[in-house]
Amino acid sequence: MKEVSVTELNELRIAGTPHQLIDIREDYEVENVNIGGLWIPMGNIPMEIAQIRKDVPVIIHCKSGMRSANITKYLESQGFDNVSNLKGGIFAWIDQIEPSLPKY
């Protein structure tokens, strides 16, 4: 399973490099803190798989990187070779990139 650090994701965003960020957290988590991207709750991924692009790098994130690791592995098993897990999830993003965001 491939992983991307929050620093690498931030560099992609700053450079304007095409990618797709997918947030798989639950609605109450997204309401608490949101770094953007397409929101598809973890349980909806199989039904919403058509929304996941195959032509750009796709980065899956959750709160800590555990659930997104499972979804990244699932998507790989479905033939996606362009997916990566955001290592450390929102926790790492807040700690390293945007400490002004609300803490969980």
Tens digit of pLDDT for each residue in 16-71? 999 999 999 999 999 999 999 999 999 999 999 999 999 999 999 999 999 999 99
How many C-beta neighbours within 10 Å does residue 23 have? 25
Q: What class has domain 2-96? A: alpha beta
Question: Any idea what the Cα angle at residue 1 is, between residues 17 and 75, rounded to 5°?
Answer: 80
Could you tell me if 1 and 17 are in contact, meaning their C-beta atoms sit under 8 angstroms apart?
Answer: no
Q: Determine which one of 22, 45, 62, 83 is catalytic.
A: 62
Q: Please indicate whether residue 82 is annotated as part of the active site.
A: no
Q: Average pLDDT of 70-98?
A: 97
Using only C-alpha atoms, what is the Rg of the chain?
Answer: 13
